Amino acid sequence: MPTYIVLGHFTDQGIRAVRDSLKREDAFRKQCEKVGAQVKDIYRTMGRYDLVATIEAPDDVTVSSLVYSTGALGNIRTETLRRSRAGKPRRPSS
């Protein structure tokens, strides 16, 4: 299953209700399970992003629907990256 890295930062609404962020995280994990995805890790971070999550999901559509529905709640904005494994360097084709 592909792995996705989700970078998130709280909106003004989200930071005002930061006390509820663990409840929101739990709800997000449950939503992931419902659609066949799995949250591998969630880290609270300092700097540009307030959190970083790694998620395994069946496909891009599934992870997109997860982050869109989460963003629609108004507490967090996200940027999602699809992870690819660094492989053995290959020579450029000529």
Positive or negative, the Cα torsion across 3, 74, 29, 68?
negative
Q: Is the pLDDT of residue 93 over 70?
A: no
- Give residue limits of the domains in the chain: 3-82
Give pLDDT, residue 84: 80
The DSSP line for 22-73 is HHHHHHHHHHHHHTT-EEEEEEE-SSS-SEEEEEE-SSHHHHHHHHHHHHTT
Question: Model pTM?
Answer: 0.84
Mean pLDDT calculated for residue range 9-13: 95
If you search the block for the tokens 């559509």, which residue do you land on?
61
What CATH number matches the domain at 3-82, 1.10.287.3610, 3.40.50.2000, 3.30.70.920, 1.20.1050.140? 3.30.70.920
Residue-wise pLDDT for 70-90, tens only, equals 999 999 999 999 998 776 666
